């Protein structure tokens, strides 16, 4: 069994493009794919391999040690490297957008698409456990998008992104934004092959988030502090948050923005355009 495809039958991972022209009846158009069902689950081994009685080692309960020293994430990491190679070959600039639920990832993306969608060729992969809501918000802006619903899965992995990107048919020189499942824990372990990892926090969260979830902040390249329009109403200390974040990762680059008012967004756009070209 596994959490992403649920071998036991419940909640497979699905990939859906919002319906461009008509009909919101997306239920009938689910393309069900079960990516994890490709690897063999050898449930019949017990019967096959019970012919070892020619090699009795009496009294030996320790057995023979075989050194493995294999990283458990090897499979995801190598698939991520394959994605990365594909992106590099096509000069695709890929961002992995992570945050707690509701920090403003989709809002940030919507505003970015509205403001500079003309200047850069955007494609979007949306990751959520359920619903087409976020993909529909992006599709409303006439930007190509695919929704991954992970079911019980708490993060996207490189294999899901690989499938989604193939279906999206991303053009050369594009900017691909992958919005991960809202979660600051699990996505930190799963490299998707992105060029840059962008973590979003909002000022309605605690300013100690970076040290409560250090693995994520350690693995990110960019930290966007969102909803600064709300600073007068909350106790969030921006400098403190930045210091905490820098203490787990002194390479982090910060942007302080309000997606709502647009404050600070031009610096983010300048970075996007500048970095995309290199």
Partner 1 sequence: MHELSIATSIIEIAEEFAIKNKGANIIKIEIEVGELSGIVVDSLEFALELAIEKTVLERAKIIITTIKGMARCKQCGNEYVNSDWYTACPQCASMDFDITGGKELQIKSIFIE
Ligand X SMILES: Nc1nc2c(ncn2[C@@H]2O[C@H](COP(=O)(O)OP(=O)(O)OP(=O)(O)O)[C@@H](O)[C@H]2O)c(=O)[nH]1
Task: Give residues in contact with Zn ion (CB under 5 A).
Answer: 2, 5, 7, 36, 154, 186
Q: Does 189 bind partner 1 (CB under 8 A)?
A: yes
Residue where the block lists tokens 């000022």: 203
**Residue whose CB is less far from Zn ion, 5 or 174:** 5
Q: Smallest distance from the beta carbon of 26 to Mg ion, in angstroms?
A: 17
Structure tokens at 112: 């970015």
Q: In whole angstroms, what separates CA 110 from the centre of its chain?
A: 17
* Of the candidates 205, 108, 211, 215, the residue with the CA atom closest to the CA atom of residue 155: 215
**Residue whose CB is less far from partner 1, 24 or 48:** 48
Q: Does 157 bind Mg ion (CB under 5 A)?
A: no
Number of shown-chain residues binding ligand X (CB under 6 A):
18
Angle CA 99–128–271, to nearest 5: 40
Q: Does 24 bind partner 1 (CB under 8 A)?
A: no
Q: Smallest distance from the beta carbon of 222 to Zn ion, in angstroms?
A: 23
Residues numbered 239 to 258 that lie near ligand X (CB under 6 A) are: 258
**Residue whose CB is less far from Mg ion, 122 or 244:** 122
Burial class of residue 94 in the structure, from the number of CB atoms within 10 Å of its CB (0-12 exposed, 13-18 middle, 19+ buried): buried
Burial class of residue 73 in the structure, from the number of CB atoms within 10 Å of its CB (0-12 exposed, 13-18 middle, 19+ buried): middle
**Residue whose CB is less far from partner 1, 250 or 278:** 250
Binder of residue 188, out of ligand X, Mg ion, Zn ion, none (CB less than 5 to 8 A by kind): none
**Residue whose CB is less far from ligand X, 105 or 197:** 105
Residues numbered 208 to 237 that lie near ligand X (CB under 6 A) are: 226-227, 229-230
The answer to whether 117 and 141 are in contact (CB under 8 A) is yes
Binder of residue 270, out of Mg ion, partner 1, Zn ion, none (CB less than 5 to 8 A by kind): none
Residue where the block lists tokens 């942007």: 255
The answer to whether 265 and 237 are in contact (CB under 8 A) is no
Strand partners, 145: 124
Region of 205 (left: φ > 0; alpha: ψ -120 to 50; beta: rest) is beta
Binding mask 84-123 for ligand X (x = CB under 6 A): ---------------x-xxxxxxx----------------
Structure tokens at 77: 């990491």
Binder of residue 102, out of ligand X, partner 1, Zn ion, none (CB less than 5 to 8 A by kind): ligand X
Structure tokens at 6: 């649920």
Q: Does 36 bind partner 1 (CB under 8 A)?
A: yes
147's CB contacts (< 8 A; 6+ apart) are 14, 15, 16, 17, 18, 126, 128, 132, 134, 135
One residue of 17, 112, 123, 134 binding ligand X per CB under 6 A: 134
The answer to whether 197 and 178 are in contact (CB under 8 A) is no
Q: Does 134 bind Mg ion (CB under 5 A)?
A: yes
The answer to whether 104 and 227 are in contact (CB under 8 A) is yes
The residues binding Mg ion (CB under 5 A) are: 105-106, 134
Residue numbers at the binding site for partner 1 (CB under 8 A): 1-4, 36, 39-43, 45-46, 48-49, 52, 57, 61-76, 152-155, 157, 185-186, 188-190, 211, 214-215, 218, 244, 247-250
């Amino acid at each position: 069994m596994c959490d992403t495809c649920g071998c036991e039958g419940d909640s497979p991972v699905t990939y859906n493009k919002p319906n461009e022209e008509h009909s919101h009846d997306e239920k009938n158009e689910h393309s069900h794919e079960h990516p994890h069902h490709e690897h063999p689950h050898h449930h019949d081994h017990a019967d096959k391999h019970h012919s070892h009685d020619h090699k009795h080692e009496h009294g030996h309960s320790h057995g023979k040690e075989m050194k493995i020293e294999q990283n458990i994430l090897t499979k995801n990491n190598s698939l991520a490297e394959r994605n990365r190679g594909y992106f590099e070959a096509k000069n695709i600039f890929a961002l992995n957008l992570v945050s707690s639920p509701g920090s403003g990832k989709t809002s940030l993306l919507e505003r970015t698409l509205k403001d500079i969608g003309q200047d850069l060729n955007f494609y979007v992969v949306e990751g959520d456990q359920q619903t087409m809501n976020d993909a529909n918000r992006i599709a409303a802006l006439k930007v190509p998008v695919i929704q991954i619903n992970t079911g019980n899965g708490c993060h996207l992995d490189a294999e899901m992104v690989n499938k989604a990107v193939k279906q999206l048919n991303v053009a050369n020189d594009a900017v691909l934004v992958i919005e991960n499942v809202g979660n600051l824990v699990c996505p930190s372990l799963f490299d998707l092959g992105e060029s840059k990892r962008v973590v979003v926090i909002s000022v309605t969260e605690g300013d100690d988030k970076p040290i409560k979830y250090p693995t994520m902040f350690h693995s990110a390249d960019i930290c966007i502090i969102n909803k600064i329009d709300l600073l007068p109403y909350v106790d969030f200390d921006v400098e403190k948050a930045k210091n905490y974040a820098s203490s787990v990762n002194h390479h982090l680059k910060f942007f302080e923005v309000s997606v709502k008012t647009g404050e600070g967004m031009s610096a983010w756009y300048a970075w996007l355009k500048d970095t995309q070209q290199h």
